[in-house]
Amino acid sequence: MGIAFERFDEESKKRGATFNADSAARRLETVLELQRRQASGEELNVAERRYLLKNRNVAADLAGAVGRLIDA
């Protein structure tokens, strides 16, 4: 029973790390697109500007998520 629980725990960690890395990569992609639009002179709406502010550290989040994925 203990071995089965350990396997389940390890698989859960792997799935969680994969989800976190995927989520951070998608957020980084969105942030880069919004920054590209902003740099080209396009006016961003309020929601897009808030998204940029909320996700300004997404590159660091992605690096941490990839590190956790490697550890798992």
pLDDT tens by residue, 18-52: 898 999 999 999 999 999 999 999 999 999 999 99
Task: Give the Cα separation of 15 and 68 in Å (integer).
Answer: 11
Q: Rounded to two decimals, what is the model's pTM?
A: 0.74
Phi-psi bin for 42: left (phi > 0), alpha (psi -120 to 50), beta? Answer: beta
Q: What is the largest CA-CA distance in the chain?
A: 60
Q: Which residue has the higher pLDDT, 41 or 14?
A: 41
